[in-house]
Amino acid sequence: MIDIPHIWWLTALLALVLFGDAVMSLRPPGFIQRCLEGVRLPREWWWGLVVIKLLAATGLVVGFKYPGVAFATNVAVIGYFVCAAYAHYRARFLKQEFWLNCLGMLAFSVSVLVVSYPI
């Protein structure tokens, strides 16, 4: 069974970044608005992303106490950013927001998983 993260502070940092992203998404700054508009996500669905990010941050933190929860949440976060990358690709919105925000968070999430849960 997969245990709690071996390097806890990386998982905590990912949770903090996701929480900060969720808070920023409540009143999205320009780069987040450009990203969401670029992939043509309807404005009335933007709140769903805030909920997803808050739940992900919560799952990562809960995973410090309950084995497997942080691992499963980390995998789900990777899935979220893979879907976001696909949405960017499909919308042909491959500008700076895609490379820095989307792929940067995907790389960070994968790195946290690989380093925090060694085989």
Q: Which pLDDT does position 1 carry in this prediction?
A: 62
**CA-to-CA distance for 63 and 72, rounded, in angstroms?**
9
Confidence of residue 76 (pLDDT cuts 50, 70, 90): very high
Q: Which pLDDT does position 33 carry in this prediction?
A: 87
Mean pLDDT of 69-95: 92
Is the CB of residue 64 less than 8 Å from the CB of residue 5? yes
Mean pLDDT of 77-101: 87
